[in-house]
Structures are given as structure tokens and as C-alpha cells.
Homo-oligomer: A and B are copies of this chain.
Amino acid sequence: MDSWSSLAAGEQLVLESLFWSKAASRNELALRLRQSKSKANTVVAALIAQGLVAEVGHVLHGTGRPAEMLRISDTLGVLLAIDIGATSMSVAVLTPNMSILALHSEEVDVRDAQQGPTVVLARARTLALTLLERRGKKASDVLAIGIGVPGPVNMESAQLVNPPLMPGWGDFSIRDFMRDSFSAPVFVDNDMNIRAIGELRQLHRSVSNFLVVKVGTGIGCGIVCEGKIYRGATGSAGDVGHICVDINGPRCHCGNVGCVEAMAARPAVERLAQEAMERGDSEALQRHAGKEGALDLAAVGAASREGDVVANRIIQRSGMLVGQMLASVVNFFNPSHVFLTGSIVTIGPLFLAAVRQSIYQRSLALSTRNLHVQYTSLGDTGGITGAGVLAMQELLKSGRLRP
């Protein structure tokens, strides 16, 4: 059962190992891949000769000789990462090691049937070409393209399947559209799955069962199960926004009542703040309101940072409800980590504290004894980095990395 029977197979394993660990010495590679040092050295030499792997400096381990560190060569080309959300889009150019070379974000509304995939993707393509040019790169320098979208995806066809939020995107060929400008392979996945895969690489695959939960305009969840992205039977796993947290709660656009998204996501937080301000409950909210007297999340955050009791209560309520939903999920799934991200999460430490309190109060002790609830390590760049990791991972799997 020697999977190193061919040089190519050994090369692929070394490249994947370097990618997921970010960098490693020859000895670490041999240990990790359970091969002799000489075998590992032979494969590494071949990869360096082909320009696929580069030596990037020394690391001192104990009293031994400093070890030469290796990683995937940054001269190979670049990756394009596109993170499409419900109300915004980010486009970035990344190195094969996930350093961001150029990044642009702007508002876009994929829920608007007037726009549809051709308008949004044409804009993404234009942004990508502009960013590439800014870094002196051409379309032909792109090794692979990774795209995250807010809906269920058929990974093989790289198409959305019955997306509830995105009119016109169902069965639209994103690959064909991008092919007009780029010959590189295109990989598409759900926006929460790419955040989960990005976090998985950030953790060097050291954590096997975790969730990445985003609380912004909507509430979504990416699931890593036994070290792999879990998609569910029909690709909709992680759709936690419509879990009920109050059987007497308000009606959600999905038709049900008490969905956590309807009660705790950005629109609910803004609406509650607006109502409190209009009742005259908070001088701070009034002060931070826009010209027309409209309150957005930034205003709620500003009031909260000033210690405004009303703003704080609204943020805590949102955190408590999200925590209540997560308590159900934690009881069922028993993850070791829950990573939080999104515009509401990062408004201040109150939200995280409320989520934690709610989870620890509502989950069983057995499930929370070793549970960590914390911010994602990638923060705002989680989507872009995740799209890059998706592109690089699929490229490595396909064995088409050779220049």
C-alpha cells in the first residue's frame, strides 16, 4: 500500500502537506508523510527543480542544525478569490500561500433579480482584471479561481442549486462565464463552507470538528466534521438561520416564526435600535443616527462603545439568541470549537460574551467541557482566504499545478 509508488504521487502529497501546514522542513515532511528522509529529500529536490517548492529560510529547533524551511513557491502564479455575500462582494489576488496581494470590496445585492449572475460576475471579472493589472499580473498568471456564494452549490458543476436568495443564479454556468477572460480552472462553494476551509488551513488541520458561524445580514454556519467540510445529504447543511429560538417569536420571511435570523441578525438589531431611538430611550443612538434619522449597525456599535445601555441590551439580546441556537447545535454535534465572524459579532466584546454565556448555560456539561467559543482567526478576510484555499486545494487535488 505504498502511495509513493510514483514520484508524481509523492510530489502531490508533499505539495499538499506544505500547503496545509504553510511551511515545513524536510525532516518534518518525512515524519508527517511516514517516509524515509532520503525519499522525502528526493521528492523535495525534484519539486525545487521544477520551481514548485522554494526554500524560505532557516528555523532553529533545539540544539540541532538549523532546518531549511520549505513552502510552495510564490513565483508559480497567483490565485483569484471572489467572495460573494448577500449584500457585498470581495475580490482578491492571492499568492499560492494565501498572502493577499490586492483586495477590493464593494456593495452588491445578489437578491436583486435585476442584476443576476451576468451583472455581478461581469463586475467581479472587471475588478479581478484591475487588481491583477495593479500588481503587474496578467490573466494567464492566474493558477485557479475560487468563488464563494451565499447558496447551496453543486461542487462538480460549480453551479448554484435552487438558491433561495439569488434569483437567476440557479444552474447558471459560472465556469463558462469566467472562461471568457481566464483559462484557469474555476471552483465554487458555499460562502460558509469556504470560511470553514479557510479556518481549517489557518489551524493547520489541527482541529477536526468545528463550526464557523457568521452573523451579519443573515446567519450561516460552515461545518468541519472529522477534518473535512460537511455538506449534508443535499448540500444544505449548516443552514442554521432558520432554527427556531422562540415559538412565540415574530414571523420570518421564510414563513415560520421565531427564526434566529429574524430575531438576531443585522436587520433585527437595526430595527430594535431604531424603535428604541424613536421611543426616545437612548440619547446616544439619537446622536449617532444618520441625517434622515436612520440607524445602521455602525451607529449601534458606536453607541455601545460609549456604554449606552440600550445599544448594549440590543447587542446582548442578539448574542443570547444566537447562543441559544448554538446550544442546540452544540448538544447535537459536540464540536471542539465554535468560531464566530460577521458584522454583528465584531461590533464589540459584548456579543461574544453573550453567545458564550448562552451556550454554556444551555448546553450539557459533557458537550461544553472542552468547547472553545471564539472569534475566527481570519476575521474579515475569512471569505477571501477561504476562496483562495478552495482554489489551491482543488488545484493540488487535480494534479494540474505543474507549470
Q: Which positions in A face B, CB cutoff 8 Å?
A: 1-3, 5, 152, 162, 164, 208-209, 221, 223, 225-226, 228, 230-240, 242-248, 254, 256, 324-325, 327-329, 331-336, 361-367, 369-371
Q: Known interface pairs A331-B240, A366-B152. Does A233 touch B247 (Cβ–Cβ under 8 Å)?
A: no
Q: In the complex, what's the smallest C-beta–C-beta distance from A151 to chain B, in angstroms?
A: 9
Q: In the complex, what's the smallest C-beta–C-beta distance from A107 to chain B, in angstroms?
A: 26
Contact of A244 among B235, B324, B334, B370 (CB under 8 A): B324
- Report the separation of the CA atoms of residues A365 and B254 in the bound assembly, to the nearest whole angstrom: 10
A239-B367, A247-B324 given; 9 more Cβ-contact pairs under 8 Å: A1-B3, A152-B366, A225-B225, A226-B226, A235-B366, A236-B334, A240-B331, A242-B331, A244-B362
Chain B residues in 8 Å Cβ range of A209: 232-233
Q: For residue A3, which residue of chain B has the nearest CB?
A: B1
Chain B residues in 8 Å Cβ range of A225: 225-226, 230
B327 touches A237 (CB 8 A): no
Cross-chain pairs A/B with CB under 8 angstroms, 12 sampled: A1-B2, A1-B3, A223-B332, A226-B226, A231-B334, A232-B335, A234-B367, A235-B334, A236-B364, A237-B332, A238-B334, A239-B331
Q: For residue A256, which residue of chain B has the nearest CB?
A: B362
Chain B residues in 8 Å Cβ range of A242: 331, 363-364
Contact of A334 among B234, B324, B363 (CB under 8 A): B234
Q: For residue A335, which residue of chain B has the nearest CB?
A: B233
B370 touches A234 (CB 8 A): yes
Q: In the complex, what's the smallest C-beta–C-beta distance from A227 to chain B, in angstroms?
A: 11
A236 touches B366 (CB 8 A): yes
10 closest Cβ pairs, A-B complex: A232-B334, A233-B336, A237-B334, A236-B366, A243-B328, A209-B233, A236-B334, A328-B328, A239-B331, A236-B367
Q: For residue A209, which residue of chain B has the nearest CB?
A: B233
Q: For residue A370, which residue of chain B has the nearest CB?
A: B234
Q: In the complex, what's the smallest C-beta–C-beta distance from A172 to chain B, in angstroms?
A: 18
Chain B residues in 8 Å Cβ range of A364: 164, 236, 239, 242, 254
B243 touches A246 (CB 8 A): no
- Report the separation of the CA atoms of residues A152 and B314 in the bound assembly, to the nearest whole angstrom: 38
Contact of A327 among B221, B223, B244, B327 (CB under 8 A): B244
Chain B residues in 8 Å Cβ range of A325: 328
A243 touches B332 (CB 8 A): yes
- Report the separation of the CA atoms of residues A256 and B244 in the bound assembly, to the nearest whole angstrom: 17
A256 touches B361 (CB 8 A): yes
